[in-house]
Amino acid sequence: MSDRECYLAARVVNALLREDYGGLSGRVTRTKDGVALELPGARRVRLTPGSLYQDFVVAPDESLGLSTVLGAVAEISEHADAAGVKALAVECRAALRALELHDARREEVMARIGRDPRHRDAIDYETLAAFVDHPVYPTARARYGLSEAELLAYAPEFAPSFELRWAAVPRERARGARVPFGPSFREVGLPDLGASHVPFPVHPLSVRVVGRMPGVRVGPLPYLRVRPTLSMRTVQTGPGTHLKLPLAASTLGLRNRRSIKPGTLTDGALAERLLREVLAAEPEFADVIMLADEQVFGHAGHEYLAWMIRTIPDTPVIPVAALLAPAPGGDTVIAEVARASGRDVADVLRGYLRLLLRWNVRLFVKYGIALEAHQQNLSLTPAGPPALLIKDNDGLLASPEHLRAAGLGVPAFADARMLTDDPHALADVFVTITLHLAAAAVAFGALPADAARRLVRDTLADALAEHGDHPLARLLRARTLDAARLVGKAMLTAGTLVDKTRTGASDVNKYYGTGGPNYLRRI
């Protein structure tokens, strides 16, 4: 078995153990020989203490294959999960194929990006970000149903460029704006439809779905060359302009479809406007928190006929997801950033974390807002005083009570799940997104564990201290700095293994499982 298979198998076991799928934590034994996980079939897997998110992880020198892991999952699962177990097997094989394909093409992609950061475009950092595996979801490289050729043609880690397809949608079904840089129908091979139809951009991977829709015709000619961002369904059409499109594929789990429900476009725009109101009331953040403009969008009442234009401020930024990525010169991206700005990595992280945590704590305590701004949705300025760019706000959670108390209106979100007055629901988002992914994953990936722990803990303590004994500050302190354990998401359980009729999860991206150790307290 390959090193990549062992790596992936260990990540899957770690996720299953963290989420306690099938009562797996009950199979952990402690003897004079150490801590181990007893899998069905008498397979003993040695464990070692975890650093982030869980108590124990598979020992680094364990040789564990996917067939062993998947066989164990089948043994410990309930009959009702049979479809999910089968899906996990497909997901694991797809992830392994993608990892091995990327290994084979890695140097070629690096050579195209180039060693000199001064000659890189923003989209190059999206490609580098795709080199880094998801901090907690083990099979994030899997894209259901895509062939090797399709991965090479459309996945961001291969730095491809491709042309979009365009569909003719009856004018009476189109809602919202029109794509300002879209083609004429003649340019996409449908010259007779200009008076009766509207052109909609279609990702090439979604043509097979859109082409079957009644009354919709996909033009035979492509138009507009683009490159994929880290999210894959969002593409860069030109400097500072992204186009978000539905993608007929699932990522981060079979149930996590990459379609775009029309209501999320309106909700994202409303959330952005809410954050702009907050910034207007918080002048100290006005120059250091930037929001992507996501107000231009259209749809035809279908999750695969929708689009949104994202306009990025004219300021050089690097996705936070790229900071830990390998750079073509042999360093990490964050080390390049530090060297270019005359700082060390700890200094870069200190400035980033201070801004990240002060902003998100301010939102939480004063406004009752928790952002779903993980490392993919955040970008950092590489030079000068740190500033953050935030995008894709349709996963935000907000408290009507606290918004009103702050003098702000309550947005009329189409998705009622975006509003709650439960402070613990807000804290769940803060811990699992801001703390775990945007802060800790980056800090612990760049610094020794003790230094990272101290930096995140002290920076969060300072951010909370600004709010004294405010009830929400006390609650957030109790849920983070003073907590015995920290809440985590059960992403593999909700995303692939267990149907939501059994989990009860209204949102597979907000299904919280068992907690992990509080890495902020281990000094």
What confidence score (pLDDT) does residue 250 get?
75
Angle, helices 82-113/122-129, rounded to nearest 10 degrees: 140
Q: How many helices and strands in the chain, by DSSP H and E?
A: 16, 23
Per-residue pLDDT of 402-443, as tens digits, reads: 999 999 999 999 999 999 999 999 999 999 999 999 999 999
**DSSP structure class, residue 306:** E
User: Does residue 371 contact residue 435 with C-beta atoms inside 8 Å?
Assistant: no
DSSP strands (E only) in 367-459: 369-370, 378-380, 388-390, 397-398
User: Does residue 188 contact residue 223 with C-beta atoms inside 8 Å?
Assistant: yes
Alpha-carbon gap, residue 169 to 244, rounded angstroms: 18
Q: What's the half-sphere exposure (Cβ side, CA atoms, 13 Å) at 24?
A: 27
What confidence score (pLDDT) does residue 51 get?
72
Beta bridge partners of 163: 225
End-to-end CA, the chain: 38
Tell me the two tokens of residue 173.
């079904």
Tell me the two tokens of residue 295.
């107000």
3-state secondary structure of 51: coil
| Rg value, the chain, Cα | 23
Contacting residues for 357 by C-beta, under 8 A, at least 6 apart: 434, 439, 459, 460, 462, 463
What confidence score (pLDDT) does residue 254 get?
66
User: Does residue 236 contact residue 122 with C-beta atoms inside 8 Å?
Assistant: yes
Alpha-carbon gap, residue 492 to 471, rounded angstroms: 34
What confidence score (pLDDT) does residue 77 get?
95
Contacting residues for 488 by C-beta, under 8 A, at least 6 apart: 18, 19, 53, 54, 136, 432, 436, 512, 513, 514, 515, 516
- Fold for domain 316-482? Transferase(Phosphotransferase); domain 1 (1.10.510)
Domain boundaries, the chain: 316-482
User: Does residue 311 contact residue 255 with C-beta atoms inside 8 Å?
Assistant: no
Angle among Cα 502, 507, 23 to the nearest 5 degrees reads 40
Pairing label, strands 162-170, 56-58: unpaired
Per-residue pLDDT of 342-395, as tens digits, reads: 999 999 999 999 999 999 999 999 999 999 999 999 999 999 899 999 999 999
Beta bridge partners of 29: 36
Alpha-carbon gap, residue 192 to 168, rounded angstroms: 10
Helix, strand, coil % in the chain, rounded to nearest 5: 45, 20, 35
What confidence score (pLDDT) does residue 74 get?
96
Q: Report the run of H or E that residue 517 belongs to, with start and end.
A: strand 516-517
196 phi/psi in degrees, rounded to 5:
-115, -10
Phi-psi region of 522 (alpha: psi -120 to 50; beta: other; left: phi over 0): beta
pLDDT < 70 positions in the chain:
252-256, 506, 508, 514, 522-523
- If you search the block for the tokens 């597979």, which residue do you land on? 508
Burial (Cβ within 10 Å: 0-12, 13-18, ≥19) of residue 521: middle
Alpha-carbon gap, residue 28 to 516, rounded angstroms: 15
Alpha-carbon gap, residue 126 to 228, rounded angstroms: 8
* Closest to 186 measured CA to CA, from 166, 202, 205: 166
Contacting residues for 54 by C-beta, under 8 A, at least 6 apart: 14, 17, 18, 488, 516, 517
Length of the chain: 523
3-state secondary structure of 44: strand
Contacting residues for 506 by C-beta, under 8 A, at least 6 apart: 417, 500
Alpha-carbon gap, residue 150 to 31, rounded angstroms: 48
* Closest to 35 measured CA to CA, from 25, 48, 26, 23: 48
Position 213: which residue type? M
